[in-house]
Amino acid sequence: DQQVKQNSPSLSVQEGRISILNCDYTNSMFDYFLWYKKYPAEGPTFLISISSIKDKNEDGRFTVFLNKSAKHLSLHIVPSQPGDSAVYFCAASARETSGSRLTFGEGTQLTVNP
Partner 1 sequence: DTAVSQTPKYLVTQMGNDKSIKCEQNLGHDTMYWYKQDSKKFLKIMFSYNNKELIINETVPNRFSPKSPDKAHLNLHINSLELGDSAVYFCASSRRGSEAFFGQGTRLTVV
Report the chain's terminal Cα–Cα distance, integer Å.
38
Q: Give the three-state DSSP class for 7.
A: coil
The single residue among 49, 52, 74, 111 that binds partner 1, judged by CB under 8 A, is: 49
Q: Which residues contact 29 (CB under 8 A, 6 or more apart)?
A: 94, 96, 97, 98
The single residue among 13, 21, 23, 34 that binds partner 1, judged by CB under 8 A, is: 34
The single residue among 32, 52, 61, 68 that binds partner 1, judged by CB under 8 A, is: 32
80, 16 Cβ separation under 8 angstroms: yes
C-alpha–C-alpha distance, residues 87 and 104, integer Å: 12
Strand 10-14 versus strand 108-113 pairing type: parallel
Binding mask 75-114 toward partner 1 (x if CB under 8 A, else -) reads ------------x-x-----x--xxxxxxx-xx-------
- Does 73 help bind partner 1 (rule: CB under 8 A)? no
* Site size for partner 1 (CB under 8 A): 22
CB of 39 to partner 1, least distance (A): 10
* Interacting residue ranges for partner 1, rule: CB under 8 A: 32, 34, 36, 41-46, 49, 87, 89, 95, 98-104, 106-107
